[in-house]
Structure 1
Amino acid sequence: MTIKLTRVQFFLLMFIMQTAFVYVSFQNLVIENGKRDSTLQFLITALVFYLLLLFFERTYQYFILNPVTRFLYILYWFYYLHAFVVNTLYILSSWVFPNTPNAVLVFLLLSVCYYASVSRAETAVNIGVVMIPMLVIFFLFLFLSIPDLEVTNLFPLMQEPVDRWIKGILFSTNAFSGVEVYLILRKYVMQSETINRRILLIYASFLTAFYMVSLLFTIMYFAIEEINIISEPILYILNSQEVTFVKRLDIFFIYIWVSWTIIGIVNHVLVIRLVYFQQKRKYEKFQQLVFFTVMGISACFFVNITMQQIFKHSLLYINLVFAIVLPIIIISVNKLRGRSQFDSSK
């Protein structure tokens, strides 16, 4: 299986996969652990993210997966998607469909994902375009909360101990999870489309600003002591806004978020397909059906607050391993051996 990506398509895929699952909830753990200094801690993490993109751009040709690492990454992406399918079911059952069985919700959610995933690869590549106007609407309504914000909540700064800073920086990395897909997708970008430092800086700055707005709004809207009991702060902020033409603004935006999540799942499955079906395999659609079926059945057993906390904390360290540590090891080993994607068919 192969695809051809323009530079815009490439970064749109990156953006959707890096925001779809964590945008409405990542603020909780960052502020809970970093307190008021979480904005500064997040900026440090964003700088590291940009440097990591520069490193990946210079060395992506050495990121070659063997059967073992290919299996590990597919297993990691399954766990990652599984965690956020559970999270989606939890939010839907809590906010919108409290009386609907989880089996029905997961069937509706994953059947749409499966249909999009077994379609042409171009469908998964371009489906993210529909999110652009939705995100514009999302931000316009988020800014309705400006009169309720307390700027003084941001201060004082630089008052937290070192252990708070370490935790805040660590949990800020959740905002940049999924960066490893850069190494998978980069080789599919057309050779005529150059990616340089300026392009990477623009993308990293846009993603940082996108998250920073939500982080600032959360700190200014809630008292620091309230954050640890609010799992989806952005949805709570939207819930508090009153407009005449929508009775429940939060539900309206949950539907946008669910669409965002579906597109994120479809894009991640595209990456899995590119890795798993790199070699010709039989019964591709059936294997994807098994993938979604196993995910859906297992997800129904984990929809509770305890598993939510386990997933959130475990994914932090698992993401660091598969997004940073393992790619650096793979790239270093292949560079020492002189193996690259340009001279290897594996």
Structure 2
Amino acid sequence: MPKTSTERRAWIDEAVRLVEADANRSADTHLHALTLPTPGVDLYLKDESVHPTGSLKHRLARSLFLYALCNGWIGPDTTVVEASSGSTAVSEAYFARLLGLPFVAVMPAETSREKVALIEWHGGRCHFVESAAEVYDEARRLAEACDGHYMDQFTYAERATDWRGNNNIAESIFEQMAAERHPIPAWIVVGAGTGGTSATIGRYVRYRRHPTSVLVADPEGSAFYDGWRTDSAAVVTGASSRIEGIGRPRIEPSFVGGVIDDMVRVPDAASIAAMAWTSARLGREVGPSTGTNVWAALLTATRMAAAGESGSIVTLLCDGGERYRASHADPAWLAAHDLDPAPYAERLAAYDATGRLA
């Protein structure tokens, strides 16, 4: 393996080329229009499940690898370690294999087995801890033990992404909306895992001076909502989110509350009901974090209609539901985790009839 400074620089140059080439081979993700019964309000889903690794986290993993490579943190012999609830680890395992690097994912033991299988398929190794609050220290310890690099998505997500443009997710949304009835979204609704996506979109709309507002939907047990509402970074819940990919037990360094216009806490059972509701309308399975986003988007549509407003709402289809067949889509798993989506499914049925989510 290359050892001299010149050889190391040549390896980094080639690694950056490989990551950039992967991006060039990937077409932009689709924007689906979802017909609503709410008059005057249009809903769109940015389909991030079509990335090579099947989720929104493919964008993040690419940015994190480029950031680490250009900072000189990753070299030809580096073991890459990440703390993750699953999807970021799948995407990072993909890029690690692309560069010929070992990869270790530290994640809660309850991470869906479908995600674990994907990480291992991409050549990564899974290291389990009991709760989400343990992943940070354990990932750092493992990286130090093997003289590797702890990628630390929860710190670097918001700074690794070019929020000014360069075909980031925000720029893509506005370009794809250009020919729609309401081309400038009234609201963009996202969940928060690292906070990187809400930071990118929130900064972009301010930089481009769009009147768009950013709403973050947060699941039960997450610290983000209470931290944002009280303007405190010290909020800690210690709980693991039951909605994989979003919600954290602490306020992550990448969460930028100042670029968020509103937040809503979505009950986990509502996320499950909205996951099924969205899957039925799209004719394909979506994951639970997409359900969280859609529930918040329908509440926003109801609020807009009540105020006599018209416009468009854009949210994210974060990943496909095939990753959750043994968990969030399994009635036995839901019962074991005390989740009953039936009352929320009834509210969605009433929404279909009235155009108002009560």
Larger RCO, structures 1/2 (Cα 8 Å, 6+ apart): 1
Fold shared per TM-score above 0.5: no
Q: TM-score, normalised by structure 1?
A: 0.24
- Higher share of residues assigned helix: 1
More strand by share: 2
